[in-house]
Structure 1
Amino acid sequence: MLCSTCRLRPPVTADGHCLLCAGPAGAAAPGPPVPAFVAPQQYLRSPDGLAKAVVILLAVVAVADLLAVAAGLNIRRLLADGLENDFATYDDAEATLADNLYGSAGVLQGVMTLATGIVFIIWFRRVRMNAEVFDPSVQPMSPGWAVGAWFVPVANLVLPRRIAGGIWTASAQTNTDGSWRTVPATPMNLWWGAWVCSLAFSWVTSRQYMRAEETQEIIDAAGLVMVSDALDIVAAVLAILFVRKLTRMQGERAALGVYPLGVQG
């Protein structure tokens, strides 16, 4: 059974409201015992430092993607020029340099994506642990899944978003009287949608590029890879907005200094 107003938490009053929706009046109403409120700041850990590191790394990922786009344009130009005159003026040294630059950009992308993913998951676990203090009743999965969910094939396209939704709800700032205030989840939804689209498109285009053999096929595949890099830039920017917003929400939520403990239905 869930609260008749927010449909998120177990009811604690006789009229079916949870503790936050009932407000001060609900605390005095007859019904099941209302859980005590305490201020367990000692169990909270600030995500600010990790958030700053994630934002910086995401910005570097976006720069690496821009370099890859520039290198891709150079490859396409050289191949298109060569194809136009049957490679009569094709410069092998220039082509080798362009290929090396393209490969180096790809390596930089891979290294920065790996580093960013590691720090992002550490930050994600931190905000999930804080959400457990704020409101454990709205968390769909145990804290350990904040890490494990990213490594489950196919399910990692869904599970982290479920966990993020619980974190977002628990981190939404309540009003000073204890009533609930909903924060639109647009930044989270945009980030997740862009990330999934970028991941799927990258998977398809990278395989098409590896299968390309003819010159025109390589040109076309390189163009698709550039689109994939552009999508990754969009996903990185939206991830920055999501990380900054959720981190700020947790700071505001922690400043209230009151958290429900052990609400049971």
Structure 2
Amino acid sequence: MSSVVLRNPNGLSYAVVTLLAGNIAFDALLALIDVRGLLADDPFSFDAAVFGPVDLNVAYGMAFTLFTATGIVFIVWFHRLRRNAGVWAPDVPSRGPGWAVGGWFVPIANLWIPRGIAAEIWRASRPNPHGADGARELTLLNGWWTVWVTGTVVDRIATALFGDADTVSAWTTATWWSLAGYLLNIAAAVLAILVVRRLTSMQHAKATGMIPAAQ
């Protein structure tokens, strides 16, 4: 057993869940704005600067700030779980704890490295780290990752399409992609909340049953 002290992830998990809920609210607002634009008689005369009492420039800025804060806190939580996983089963993770942070920033490879680390955290956090995966055991984790990656790709496509949109048809196509991206992001955030709660619960149960977790 590693000499590294277990760290309690509960507080961080509450922060992550709260921030993810905030992202869901902003994505829902921005999705409604896309719907309003699609229903406009003339998209190019559609005033995208104001949505009722909401100043969209402020809304987009707040959404970006919230997304950034969520990413930072999520990665800190993720790294803490990876460190705990190394205490229980140091031979299960194939990458060091630093990859729980750096893996998110490696171009292209960040589409699969964090998911692999999450799966290893999952295995190390269950009662039998070295047992075979149960049927559909990783369904929640895989579902979250698939939706998140898909949403990320769709967002990038929408951004590129908006950059080239110089006709009503092109603008409408870009907006549909944008709307799809927001809906996928909402679904990914909901699944992420479930993953955070499940992994945190698994580690809490294992820690309280084996070694007192550090506060």
Give the TM-score of the pair, scaled to structure 2: 0.87
**Contact between 2:123 and 2:130, CA under 8 Å: does it hold in 1?**
no
Q: In the alignment, does 2:121 pair up with 1:171?
A: no
Instruction: Encode CA deviations 1:59-94: one digit per residue, 9 max, x unaligned.
Output: 10011000001111222222xx137xxx9xx6x8x5
What is the count of residue pairs matched by the alignment? 208
Report if aligned partners of 1:71, 1:105 keep a CA contact under 8 Å in 2: no
Match of 1:73 in 2: 35
Deviation at 1:170, TM superposition (A): 0.4
User: 8 Å contact 1:60–1:112 — kept in the other structure?
Assistant: yes
Structure 2 partner of 1:149:
103
Q: Any conservation in 1 of the 2:48–2:56 contact (CA below 8 Å)? A: no
Q: Following the alignment from structure 1 to structure 2, what is the Cα–Cα distance between the partners of residues 203 and 112?
A: 19
Give the letter for the 1:69 counterpart: A
Q: In structure 1, what is the equivalent of residue 91 of structure 2? A: 137
Aligned equivalent of 1:64, options 26, 37, 62? 26
Shift in Å at residue 98 of structure 1?
A: 4.6
| Matching of residue 55 in structure 1 with residue 17 in structure 2 | yes
Deviation at 1:219, TM superposition (A): 2.2
Aligned-pair CA distance for 1:120: 0.2
Between 220-229 and 242-251, the greater mean CA deviation after superposition: 220-229
1:195 corresponding residue in structure 2: 148
Q: Are residues 53 and 106 of structure 1, via their aligned partners in 2, closer, same or farther at CA, if it must alter by over 3 Å? A: same
Q: Structure 2: state its 5+ residue gaps.
A: none
Counting only pairs closer than 5 Å after superposition, residues 26-45 of structure 1 correspond to structure 2 as: 43-45=5-7
Change (3 A) 1:95 1:58: closer
Letter in 1 for 2:74: F
1:247 aligns with 2:197: no
Aligned to 1:15: none
Cα distance change, pair 221–173 in 1 and its aligned pair in 2 (3 A):
same
Residues 207 and 105 (structure 1 numbering): CA distance in 2 closer, same or farther, change over 3 Å?
farther
Distance 1:96 1:247, change over 3 A: closer
Structure 1 residue aligned with 2:50? 97
Deviation, 1:180, is 5.3
Pair member with larger Rg:
1
5+ long unaligned stretches in structure 1: 1-36, 259-265
Instruction: Find out whether 1:115 has 2:69 as its counterpart.
Output: yes
Report percent identity of matched pairs.
38
Structure 2 CA distance, aligned partners of 1:142 and 1:95?
A: 46
Once the two structures are overlaid, the 10-residue window that deviates more, 233-242 or 208-217, is 208-217
1:71 to 1:139, Cα distance in 2 relative to 1, 3 A: same
